[in-house]
Structures are given as structure tokens and as C-alpha cells.
Structure 1
């Protein structure tokens, strides 16, 4: 398609063309449109990508050693806020998310509690 032809397109036709290009080539035109704006701010601004700091974390129980089950069950019960009779079923399949969407401090505290009890846990 020639540039002269593009100049004659209506907004609706241009929008449909962009949608068709995105579908056909599997691209996102909005990302390409943001690049010139970033370049206008200066090369240093374009070179430094914005990295959002993670604010919520999940605590995942990965392993319960057989000799530490009772201690870990007590910790799991308090972290996951479940009844005593539910802990065994809750931990039957691992890895298992103990706490979702926790703050960094809460996630680290839960990780520490499980680790101190002898379990293997990770914060993601």
C-alpha cells in the first residue's frame, strides 16, 4: 500500500487496518506507538525500562520432612487459617500455596515460621 493511499483513509479504516495487521502478524501496535514518545523524552529515558516493584507475594510450602510434620502442621494451620482436621488434607499434595497476596513482611514472616519448624518453603 502506498503512502498516498494511507493518507486518504478515514479514522475507522485506519483503525481496521491496524487491527488486521495485528491479527495477521501477531504484533501489538500500541507498543510501537509508545516507542516514539519514549524517544522524544531522550535516549536515556528510553534506555532505562521502568521496573515495577512487586508488592504482593505468595508463600508456597514445598516440602514437609516426616519427622517435622507435627510442628509444621501447627504453623501451616496458623498461616493458612484452617481447622486442625483440615491440615492433613491441605498438605497432602505439595507444593501448596499457604498464603496468597501477602505483603513482603508477612510473606517473610510466614517463610521464617515454616523454615524454623523444619519445612521447605519459598516466597514468590
Structure 2
């Protein structure tokens, strides 16, 4: 109550400078943030919750959704499609690579890619249901789009046993499968 009486008695010029000082002080307090110590080398930097949420959301997407996200981002950000092969430099490096391969013993392949190249149209419904049950995170619509987008990669970087089981299950319902 007393402060209101004091403010009423204050001349206008003094009131303006008081108001400016109060505003400047508030801006200085808001701008001053505590200094953060950078993490030492070799330790992951802390990630903001916003970025962490984005990473979690993207990692939960299916392959079709990731492809769609990539296309939308390319369109919105006007990004060109990346070339599959670099334009130069491989012609000179190829002979050296062949010599190294001959010198080194053949490595045993441990990861395989399962590709669906085509399917029997008569068994399309059964194939869609099988894809939905075998691949995690697929609903019927996604499974239908996946089957119709043949040739496509079913799973990548899997063991030989898992690839064989997947090939057997999909071949039973009319799909033609290749394992790379």
C-alpha cells in the first residue's frame, strides 16, 4: 500500500527511468544463464529431451514409414537424391582391392539379406497375412503396401538360420525369395 503512495508521488521523468531500469534488470537476469562445463573427451554429450524424443520416435518407425519420411524431408528441404556410386576414383582403386582380397583368406559371411523378388498373385492375401505376422510393427495396410512394392528387402543383417526360416515361411505362401 505504501509503495503505491510512493509511486503516485513520483514525478513522470523519474517513473520512466525507474521503469527502464526494472526492464533492463529483468532482461539481464533472463539472459544470464548458468555456465555449463563441457563433457570430457570420450564421453557422450548430453542430448536435449527434444532430440531424444525425435530419435525415439524415428527408431520406432517401420521401413515403409522411414522411406516415406525420407521422401517428405527431401521434398520439404529441397535435397537432391544422393548418387549411388561416386563419379570418379574407383577405377584406380579397384586393382589394389583385388590384390588385397587375393592375399587375405575368404571371410565367412555372417549377415544376410532376405529379398522378395516376386510372388504368386493367387496367394497374395496369405502372403500379406504372413508378412504381417513375421515382421514386427506391420499392420495389414502396411503389409499390403510392402508386398505390392516387390522387389523389396524383407530383412537385412540377419543370421543364416533366421534368413533360412524367413525364406521357408514366405516361400510356403507363394513368394520367391533370394538370400544375399
State if a TM-score over 0.5 links the two structures. Answer: yes
Q: Note closer, same or farther for the CA distance 1:55–1:86 as it changes in structure 2 (3 Å cut).
A: same
Higher RCO structure (Cα 8 Å, ≥6 apart): 1
Q: TM-score, normalised by structure 1?
A: 0.59
Correspondent of 1:58 among 103, 108, 113: 113
Q: Which residue of 1 aligns with 2:172?
A: 116
Q: TM-score, normalised by structure 2?
A: 0.42
Query: Is 1:73 the counterpart of 2:128 in the alignment?
Result: yes
Q: Note closer, same or farther for the CA distance 1:50–1:77 as it changes in structure 2 (3 Å cut).
A: same
- Extract unaligned runs of 5+ from structure 2: 1-88
CA RMSD, Structure 1 to Structure 2 (Å): 2.7
Q: Note closer, same or farther for the CA distance 1:91–1:26 as it changes in structure 2 (3 Å cut).
A: same
Task: Please say if residues 79 and 98 of structure 1, whose CA atoms lie closer than 8 Å, have aligned partners that are also in contact.
Answer: no
Please say which structure displays the higher CA radius of gyration.
Answer: 2
Give aligned pairs, total: 87
- Extract unaligned runs of 5+ from structure 1: 1-22, 36-46
